[in-house]
Structure 1
Amino acid sequence: MLENMMISRVWPDGMSDIWAKSALKGRDEKPELLTQHTWSLLERLSETIYLRPNLPEQIGFPDLWNCLFWAGFLHDFGKAAKGFQEMLRGGKRWPHRHEVLSLMFLEWIAEGLTDEERIWVAAAIVSHHKDAKEIQFAYSERSDPYNNFLANMVAEIDDATLIGMWDWLIKCQQTWIDDLNLNKRGIKAIALPPQSEAIGIIKSQGPASIRKWLNAYQRWIRNIDRRGEQPVFISTIALRGYIISSDHLASAHTGELPSSNLAGPDKLLELWSSAAGASYSPYSHQTDCMKCHGSAILMAPTGSGKTEASLLWAVAQAENGQPVPRLYYTLPFQASMNAMYDRLNNSKNGVFPGQVGLEHSRSTLAYYRRMLEDKSPEKAARSAKWLNNLARLNYYPVRVLSPYQILKGPYCLKGYESLLSDCFNAVFILDEVHAYEAKRLALILATVKYLRENFGARFLVMSATLPSLLRNRLEDALGECSMIHASTDLYARFQRHRLVLRDGDLLSPGILNEIAKSIQEEQSILVCCNTVRRAQDAYTELNNILKKSGSEVEIVLLHGRFNGKDRLDKETKVRQATGSNSSQREAILLIATQVVEVSLDIDLDVIYTDPAPLEALLQRFGRVNRRRLKSFSPVYVFREPADGQMIYDEALVQASLKVLEKNNGMLIDEAKLSDWLDEIYQGEIAEDWNNEYQDTYNEFWEGVLLNLRAFNSDEGLEDEFYRAFDSVEVLPACLSSEYDKALEDSPLEASQMLVSIRWSQFMRLKNKGQAHEDDDRKIKMVDADYSSEFGLDLRRS
């Protein structure tokens, strides 16, 4: 998987016993020399520079690459201290910070840097591990009034080692610049003081020099905050982000980063033509995406190649032969992210094989399941952890993730500068934007605007339908953007559903008997309920009816409260029976909740669904007659219960039903669906949505984004972030013994038994005494029934 480490033509003598990593953390379980690690960091940094050669001018700090090069060269010089070297060889813990000790070597190159460059280099060196506040607390003058602490630290580097380090810089700097092809990137070789003078500077001025740069660093940060200049904020995020990314990639021994294939649509068209065995003929909206340079909004019917259009747009953003540095493909749900990862990364017909990373809260488990296909559980677990680590290290040029992963940047979670710095000049595909409620959408679109204005990012938003109030918000976030529509003829060709409104409740006995009769006519049927409880009830009743009739048709219950293993088994079964491209299709009765709206590429014959907001209903309809093998399929929507069932806003459900009434019995024309949505989102509904959106947007923009700074992560926000954006995983108490047994063999196997529920749901159960946190096992427990058939049943506790 990894490339052999390239070594420069010139290598330093006299540094062969100075380590950067112990055998435990070195490559191939061997100690790693300081020279090797430094070279590796500079290699990774040079790859970042190749991806974004003009970034320094773009952000208004022309010396960025030079500062990062020299900070990278010196960043670990402090590891040469005797105590640190003994620690790496199994000795006691060294009580100092090596990056603080590294600061004194800045004196050797200071004459070759401007005043501004010196402080930026110092900042990058001292911040490559710890936040500013941590360094300030540990090394304040009050804590070391006579600099004894610093003096003792400096004294740990002997003369012979200092001579070796000086010789390393003298001998290697220009050749390393040449070998890394950085000559034309603003990287400058620097004349050092003569050897005796250089050693004397460290011996006599080392503690004072460290104190000088520490104080200058703190003053500089305070001055940046006081001036409040956005371009400087952005430049410092790049500075710290890239030094950390380069260091972490080097420490992980990733080898050379994958080359980006994001350089024009021709290769994609050729690939798709090869897969189809004929020339790929793009639709007009796909051609428009290929010609579009800059952000865009794409509207096209479900199944009309929006994903292909978005990828053509992404690679078309390449400029002057320079590939797009990063592509982020965002989706709202883990199942759809996993499916998109497979689609893009497939080694046989994927668009970007070997170039795609997957990032969500359970991505390690997703990798593990894929590794199990041809590896033992033990090897699969190791591979999964490694792949997940690579994705988190900004290794891959293509990333499949949720927008919430990107929001970790504005929330200043640990490593946020590294995350944000990889967004410079990136392209983003925002898929299924209809899935986000107003408050979360406000956070996402505020971040979109921030990245567009400050990071040169470009965005494609795509959907089958968008109400005007949402289009207006998108246009504000995207700035100048293109509107790309599928042709009217294409919309007409993609008509495939006849709308039928039905009286009463989907779960009434008469309707359930009707459904059971239809399934016996060899039709694949989707029954979609708004709540897990209703889906479980529908499953129980229909299962009883079918058993009494002697039917052998497969019946599957699918909702969000199955554990990972059971849900995967069910999704696999459903895909085999109803998948658009499956060769094993057969009649099936699928009873599901909203999880079916976006997670599966399936094609059933008919749907019976609870009433819901129009956007949700349209997604449900998209699982029926997907391949358009029939002229049309009926989509049955029931009028009751119309109260939203504590899942949806009641007014929104009822407004959707009013619009559906006007079109009852008609074929659904997807070209008119945006007009339907505009009918719904007006008056009080529109006012409430706009107020909720704007209040959240303003608070986030002014209180978070405009105050985004480098050098200080906010650990206090981490719990708040996960509670706001992520579900929480719980272990049903009835699986406790099975979990403990699995945990002994493989933590990843055990994690497949956990069930995702909303954080608010967990807290309600906890308040009722039905849930608790198991501190010993570091998991959350719920006292409720669980079975592979029903999933988590909160009624049976």
Structure 2
Amino acid sequence: MIPLTEILAKSKNYGGLTLLEHTQQVTEAIELFATKYSFNFNIDVARRGAILHDLGKAHPYFQRKIKDINSGSLSEIREWNFVHRHEISSLAFLPCFPKEEWNSLIDLVIGHHKSIENDPSGRGIIDLVENDRMLIDNHLKDWNDWKGYGFEILNLFKIKTKDISYEEAKSALDYVIGFCERKNNGYSPLRGLLKSADHFASAFTHNTSSHLKYLFETPDLSFFRDEERKSDLYPLSQISTDDSRKHTLVVASTGAGKTDFLLRRSEGRVFYTLPYQASINSMWERIKSVVPNKDIRLLHATSRIVTKNNIDEQILQPLAGSAVKILTPHQLASIIFGTSGFETVMLDLHGTDVILDEIHTYSDFSRSMVLEIVKALIRLDCRIHIGTATMPTVLYNELLNMLGGKEQVYEVSLAKEILDTFDRHRIDKLEDESMIEGILRDAFANNEKVLVIFNTIKKAQDFYKKIEEEEDFRFISKMLIHSRFKRGDRVELETKLKSEFNGDGSELFGNGLMPCMVVSTQVVEVSLDISFDRMITQCAPLDGMIQRFGRVNRKRTIDTIGKFKPVHVIKPSGSVLPYKMEILKASFDQLPSEFEVLKERSLQEKIDVVYPILESKEIDVHLIYKNDRYQIKELTNNKKAVLVDALEIESSTCILETDRGKYLDGNWEERLQMEIPINYRTISRHESKFEQLEVGSYPFVIPQQEFEYQKYGLQLVEHDNFI
């Protein structure tokens, strides 16, 4: 019998952590999580669940696999040819614990990796019961040879043990199966608790203790409450946040100080949501620079790229317990769709402050999702703070009612006289795109920075190619930015846009490149702190356009108030996807023309004309909570595909053919840098034409030349069929 120090929990590739070490680390983590979560956990039971959760890794099947021991003979291959789940074997040690704790211990342990049924890989315990008549025998194989390791660990944690016979262990697993089969609808906080502790300890291993001490801190937001930040330039800074009502609804112009106000309203840990990757990158940088807490996190697909200089920050991003976490609502969607880990997210959110910024930008499925998230946050006793520059009255009233009406909601808006000071754009309507080049020539002659926005990536790419060919614009600094660049390149492009083109006030970049032109899509619409001199844009829904306009003449000073910059809006025609023509026509009609000033005080009335009713998409079929009760069975979760179906989000990835070899050989971080996100519906029209790899994120391989990609981003080109 080998010593306990040679029984591994993690393979050599993941540090070769022993089972005892991992158990110690998870136990330490769960004690903190059980104490800090706003849920009345029995800490002693939680601790025992952590001690128990991985004891099944001492099973010889697991040790053979993790040590890469290959079967030699045909009989040996047959002997070990079965599905083993270590969490099932762990529960054979239940007889060492009081019977009244068994149900809680099962909740903690049995689902900490897999849904107990309908698991995508078919490896949940109920799935295995239905498909493996030898389930219990296999999970107790050679029981007498390895149970001693479990007893040894239990003894080290001062848990009194007794010998467990094979029959007793079998009876315990029979009990586990029956318990799981009898599960009702609902969700298991205990499952979420063990998962969060296990994930944290697995991420930090030997450094678990040092990182636990920074978790669950209330953020120090004193910077935003500093009296010296009060200014007439930012009218919300003059309004008190001292109001006893739980929730907040703020409607105020871009640049009025919404971010500061929403953060000043926050009392505890903060989840700050914004709609786009670029906007949350900027917000993370902004908050991290002034909030002294160590644990300020960023959560989205490229967060590990943005935090690349700090390996600890990379690891922390998806874990629970942050002081401030900046993310998109899609990262919260698991709490309404029940995808993997939703119980942990619910525990992490419970009782916190959740800021939903720029909530008006969501439409169709995403709007329905956000409204359902608000309902879930209310059930989780969150303080909800909603901020927006524009919002249809019907949507405002819907949110107000959800949050409990005027008795529960602190409503804040700006007086019309103050709104007048935010007038900053003169609108020019264009019949078509034929006038764009003339406008650009005049703008560049005046040394202006120009932002050109199209509603689709294809239009942006085509226009950029056309401008490149124009001799008049050959020496003008220009940039194309949209969502179909490699994740790593996208972050660099955002940085370049904010520093070099916009100007960051530094000695190197000053006020930015002048003249210059940036061609883009909706990715620059929200919360990117850039301020250009002129905009040319395709018509979009009115609320979205108002956000776009906010990227022009954005800098607010005493000198800029009352000064106006031009915005040229192209009349909608032909195909207007991804939008609806009736919305675009109504939006275009509401805009002034002939360089008349767009009045901030008129925006609410105009938006209500465009959106007289609240339109949303039906997503009830996907929800785990309907009609005041849960529709999902405890200890289970839904497949991620449900979330993708409901939101139609960018659920697929592509890579360039030139990156194929590097992707196949790369680690997860290197692969992430090469991936280009794309909507599955877009790629599905072409999927038969492209190879799809069976590793990483299963990317489609696009045969685009690297130099073409560097200039224009991903283009769905096909292989040349000519020899």
Q: Same fold (TM over 0.5)?
A: yes
Q: 1:261, 1:352 within 8 Å by CA — same for their partners in 2? A: no
User: Shift of the alpha carbon at 1:100?
Assistant: 3.0
Q: For the residues of structure 1 that align with 2:236 and 2:643, how far apart are their CA atoms? A: 46
Aligned-pair identity (%):
23
For 1:659, the aligned partner's letter is Q
User: Shift of the alpha carbon at 1:668?
Assistant: 3.0
**1:204-249 CA distance string (max 9 Å, x none):** 752343244224422441xx24xxxxxxx24x2x110101211222
User: Shift of the alpha carbon at 1:796?
Assistant: 9.4
Q: For the residues of structure 2 that align with 1:31 and 1:749, how far apart are their CA atoms? A: 24
Specify the SS of the correspondent of 1:626: coil
User: Shift of the alpha carbon at 1:516?
Assistant: 0.9
Q: 2:691, 2:701 within 8 Å by CA — same for their partners in 1? A: yes
2:392 corresponds to? 467
Q: 1:79, 1:98 within 8 Å by CA — same for their partners in 2? A: yes
Q: For the residues of structure 1 that align with 2:131 and 2:489, how far apart are their CA atoms? A: 58
User: Shift of the alpha carbon at 1:758?
Assistant: 2.4
Q: How many residues align?
A: 683
Q: Structure 2: which 5+ runs fail to align?
A: 72-79, 118-123
2:477 corresponds to? 554
Q: 1:22, 1:89 within 8 Å by CA — same for their partners in 2? A: no
For 1:301, the aligned partner's letter is S
User: Shift of the alpha carbon at 1:651?
Assistant: 0.7
Superposition map of 1:330-409 within 5 A: 330-345=273-288, 349-351=289-291, 354-368=294-308, 371=309, 383=311, 387-394=313-320, 396-409=322-335
User: Shift of the alpha carbon at 1:302?
Assistant: 0.5
Query: 415-424 vs 649-658, which deviates more?
Result: 415-424
User: Shift of the alpha carbon at 1:761?
Assistant: 1.6
Q: 2:651, 2:677 within 8 Å by CA — same for their partners in 1? A: yes
1:773 aligns with 2:692: yes
1:210 corresponds to? 172
User: Shift of the alpha carbon at 1:559?
Assistant: 2.9
1:43 aligns with 2:32: no
Superposition map of 1:550-629 within 5 A: 552-564=475-487, 566-579=489-502, 581-583=504-506, 584-585=510-511, 586-587=513-514, 588-598=516-526, 600-628=528-556, 629=559
User: Shift of the alpha carbon at 1:497?
Assistant: 1.9
- Pair 611,350 (structure 1): closer, same or farther in 2 beyond 3 Å: same
User: Shift of the alpha carbon at 1:623?
Assistant: 0.7
For 1:32, the aligned partner's letter is T
Q: For the residues of structure 1 that align with 2:262 and 2:49, how far apart are their CA atoms? A: 39
User: Shift of the alpha carbon at 1:462?
Assistant: 0.8
Q: For the residues of structure 2 that align with 1:492 and 1:604, how far apart are their CA atoms? A: 21
2:341 corresponds to? 415
Q: 1:295 aligns with which of 232, 247, 251?
A: 247
Query: 458-467 vs 386-395, which deviates more?
Result: 386-395
User: Shift of the alpha carbon at 1:312?
Assistant: 1.7
Superposition map of 1:625-644 within 5 A: 625-628=553-556, 629-630=559-560, 631-638=562-569, 640-642=571-573
Q: 2:112 aligns with which of 128, 152, 160?
A: 128
1:262 aligns with 2:205: no
- Pair 527,82 (structure 1): closer, same or farther in 2 beyond 3 Å: closer
Q: For the residues of structure 2 that align with 1:164 and 1:755, how far apart are their CA atoms? A: 49
Q: 2:111, 2:636 within 8 Å by CA — same for their partners in 1? A: no
Q: For the residues of structure 2 that align with 1:126 and 1:140, how far apart are their CA atoms? A: 17
Q: For the residues of structure 2 that align with 1:705 and 1:387, how far apart are their CA atoms? A: 37
**1:24-80 CA distance string (max 9 Å, x none):** 277xx464352x433322221222233235x22xxxxxx644432332233234445
- Pair 726,354 (structure 1): closer, same or farther in 2 beyond 3 Å: farther
**1:74-113 CA distance string (max 9 Å, x none):** 32344455666676666569865443343343333326x4
TM-score, normalisation: structure 1: 0.76
**1:304-337 CA distance string (max 9 Å, x none):** 22112222222x2xxxxxxx3x422222211112
Q: For the residues of structure 1 that align with 2:55 and 2:639, how far apart are their CA atoms? A: 29
For 1:330, the aligned partner's letter is T
Superposition map of 1:179-194 within 5 A: none
Q: For the residues of structure 2 that align with 1:84 and 1:648, how far apart are their CA atoms? A: 53
**1:739-763 CA distance string (max 9 Å, x none):** 5358657775565454333222212
1:522 corresponds to? 447
User: Shift of the alpha carbon at 1:795?
Assistant: 8.1
2:683 corresponds to? 762
2:120 corresponds to? none
**1:347-406 CA distance string (max 9 Å, x none):** xx33255312222223333333xx2xxxxxxxx8xx3xx644432232533222221122
For 2:168, the aligned partner's letter is G
- Pair 552,89 (structure 1): closer, same or farther in 2 beyond 3 Å: closer
Q: For the residues of structure 2 that align with 1:554 and 1:578, how far apart are their CA atoms? A: 8
**1:519-571 CA distance string (max 9 Å, x none):** 111122222223334334443454455x348x743232333334445544543
User: Shift of the alpha carbon at 1:618?
Assistant: 0.6
TM-score, normalisation: structure 2: 0.83
Q: For the residues of structure 2 that align with 1:511 and 1:166, how far apart are their CA atoms? A: 75
Q: For the residues of structure 1 that align with 2:88 and 2:675, how far apart are their CA atoms? A: 43
Q: 1:289, 1:484 within 8 Å by CA — same for their partners in 2? A: no
Specify the SS of the correspondent of 2:179: helix
- Pair 441,641 (structure 1): closer, same or farther in 2 beyond 3 Å: closer
Superposition map of 1:211-290 within 5 A: 211-221=173-183, 224-225=184-185, 233-234=186-187, 236=188, 238-252=189-203, 253=205, 254-255=208-209, 256-257=211-212, 258-262=214-218, 265-266=221-222, 268-270=224-226, 283-284=235-236, 287-289=239-241
Q: For the residues of structure 1 that align with 2:663 and 2:692, how far apart are their CA atoms? A: 20
Q: 2:479, 2:517 within 8 Å by CA — same for their partners in 1? A: yes
For 2:597, the aligned partner's letter is L
Specify the SS of the correspondent of 1:72: helix
Specify the SS of the correspondent of 1:328: strand
Q: For the residues of structure 1 that align with 2:112 and 2:666, how far apart are their CA atoms? A: 36
Q: For the residues of structure 1 that align with 2:236 and 2:297, how far apart are their CA atoms? A: 30
1:32 aligns with 2:18: yes
For 1:367, the aligned partner's letter is T
For 1:337, the aligned partner's letter is I
Specify the SS of the correspondent of 1:646: coil
Q: For the residues of structure 2 that align with 1:757 and 1:158, how far apart are their CA atoms? A: 49
Q: 2:252, 2:389 within 8 Å by CA — same for their partners in 1? A: yes
Q: 1:110 aligns with which of 98, 116, 125?
A: 98
Q: For the residues of structure 2 that align with 1:747 and 1:248, how far apart are their CA atoms? A: 17
1:790 aligns with 2:712: yes
User: Shift of the alpha carbon at 1:640?
Assistant: 2.1
Specify the SS of the correspondent of 1:21: coil
Superposition map of 1:446-525 within 5 A: 446-453=372-379, 455-480=380-405, 481-488=408-415, 491-492=418-419, 494-505=421-432, 507-508=433-434, 510-525=435-450
Q: 1:305 aligns with which of 235, 248, 257?
A: 257
Q: 1:497, 1:621 within 8 Å by CA — same for their partners in 2? A: no
Superposition map of 1:62-73 within 5 A: 64-73=42-51
User: Shift of the alpha carbon at 1:774?
Assistant: 4.4
Q: 2:641 aligns with which of 714, 717, 726?
A: 717
Specify the SS of the correspondent of 1:519: helix
Superposition map of 1:61-210 within 5 A: 64-80=42-58, 91=69, 96-110=84-98, 113=100, 117-133=101-117, 134-138=124-128, 143-144=133-134, 148-149=137-138, 152-157=141-146, 164=152, 167-168=155-156, 172=158, 198-199=162-163, 202-203=164-165, 205-210=167-172
Higher fraction of helix: 1
Specify the SS of the correspondent of 1:128: coil
- Pair 710,494 (structure 1): closer, same or farther in 2 beyond 3 Å: farther
- Pair 78,740 (structure 1): closer, same or farther in 2 beyond 3 Å: closer
Q: 2:274, 2:358 within 8 Å by CA — same for their partners in 1? A: yes
User: Shift of the alpha carbon at 1:297?
Assistant: 1.4
- Pair 610,482 (structure 1): closer, same or farther in 2 beyond 3 Å: same
For 1:680, the aligned partner's letter is V
Q: 2:425, 2:565 within 8 Å by CA — same for their partners in 1? A: yes
For 1:657, the aligned partner's letter is F
Query: 210-219 vs 511-520, which deviates more?
Result: 210-219
Specify the SS of the correspondent of 2:576: helix
Specify the SS of the correspondent of 1:555: strand
For 2:692, the aligned partner's letter is E
